[in-house]
């Protein structure tokens, strides 16, 4: 291996992409982001706390960022901020979709605390993970460029410094999942930059995994039953207004049996109309409510 050639390649890649990488700093969170266009910054939704945050530019200048649009379940957000002449990294074309074995460089400015750049390769594609509110995000790719906490929102780039993905989900030690910055992501990001947030239907509940639900019911002498055990209900949520309570076991919605939370999310995403019939068990007794999702 020619180590000098590798060093020169990585250095050139960093020089091409790093000027557009920024830090995201807040009272309770720290992350990274990229300049999307003059006055616009792209980051992960989970990096934000509230409508305003601080964007730390490459030179260390701190500017206020105001939320323009967010897709919380897709873990993307666009901020308005005075980025001055900070350049935007180039996005790779659709034909540059990551493939296993592709060398990559991951970049970050965690909370604005200096640039981090690591080298690795794409180790898996078509991965999925859970977004901030538990929805499955599909189509991610995994890479081996190790990054410290606070690197979410920074770019993964190819050897030419073109952005292939947005680091989003840390997998233990040494691996990261990234959302590919393909044409579909770019379209969604442009909508967010125009001020159009993505809102998906949701009941407003937290649920226990199926195996936990079965174990808890068995522990209190109730028969085991597939379904979603409600662990929390948000105030003034559709579920709360319909009378769904903590401890309920939701077994069916819209005439469809529910076994996993993904069953519920898929149902809500494909629902035609704003009314949903929900059936379940409250202890040993059955119940049925109609949830208004409007």
Length of the chain: 294
Catalytic residue among 75, 158, 182, 248: 75
Find the helix or strand (DSSP H, E) in which 137 lies.
strand 136-143
Q: Which residues contact 94 (CB under 8 A, 6 or more apart)?
A: 182, 183
Catalytic residue among 32, 46, 123, 143: 46
Tokens representing 8 are: 């020169």
Please list, residue by residue across 48-70, b when 16 or more beta carbons sit within 10 angstroms of its beta carbon and e when fewer do.
beeeebbbbbbeeeebebebbbb
Q: Which of 129, 127, 131 is nearest to 100 (CA)?
A: 127
Q: Is 152 a catalytic residue?
A: yes
Measured torsion, CA atoms of residues 273, 256, 133, 100, in degrees rounded to the nearest 10: -110
Catalytic residue among 71, 152, 248, 265: 152
- CB of 150 within 8 A of CB of 41? no
Q: Is 75 a catalytic residue?
A: yes
Q: Is 34 helix (H, G, I), strand (E, B) or coil?
A: strand
Q: Is 235 a catalytic residue?
A: no
Tokens representing 185 are: 């992501």
Residues taking part in catalysis: 46, 75, 152
């Amino acid at each position: 291996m020619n180590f000098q050639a590798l060093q020169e390649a990585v250095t050139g890649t960093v020089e091409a992409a790093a000027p557009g990488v920024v830090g995201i700093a807040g009272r309770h969170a720290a992350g990274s982001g990229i300049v999307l266009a003059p006055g616009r910054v792209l980051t992960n939704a989970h990096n934000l706390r509230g409508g305003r945050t601080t964007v730390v530019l490459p030179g260390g200048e701190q500017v206020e960022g105001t939320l323009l649009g967010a897709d919380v379940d897709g873990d993307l957000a666009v901020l308005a901020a005075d980025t001055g002449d900070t350049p935007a990294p180039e996005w790779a074309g659709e034909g540059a979709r990551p493939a296993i074995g592709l060398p990559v460089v991951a970049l970050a400015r965690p909370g604005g605390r200096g640039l981090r750049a690591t080298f690795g390769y794409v180790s898996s594609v078509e991965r999925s993970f859970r977004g901030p509110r538990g929805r499955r995000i599909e189509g991610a790719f995994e890479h081996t460029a190790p990054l410290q906490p606070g690197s979410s929102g920074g770019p993964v780039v190819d050897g030419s410094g073109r952005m292939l993905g947005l680091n989003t989900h840390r997998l233990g030690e040494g691996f990261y999942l990234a959302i590919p910055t393909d044409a579909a992501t770019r379209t969604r990001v442009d909508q967010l930059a125009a001020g159009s947030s993505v809102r998906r239907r949701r009941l407003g509940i937290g649920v226990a995994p199926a195996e936990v639900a079965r174990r808890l019911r068995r522990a209190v002498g109730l028969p085991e039953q597939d379904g979603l055990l409600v662990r929390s209900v948000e105030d003034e949520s559709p579920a709360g207004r319909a009378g769904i309570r903590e401890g309920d076991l939701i077994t069916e919605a819209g005439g469809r049996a529910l076994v996993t939370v993904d069953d519920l999310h898929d149902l809500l995403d494909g629902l035609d109309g704003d009314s949903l019939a929900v059936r379940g068990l409250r202890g040993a007794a059955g119940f049925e409510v109609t949830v208004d999702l409007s």
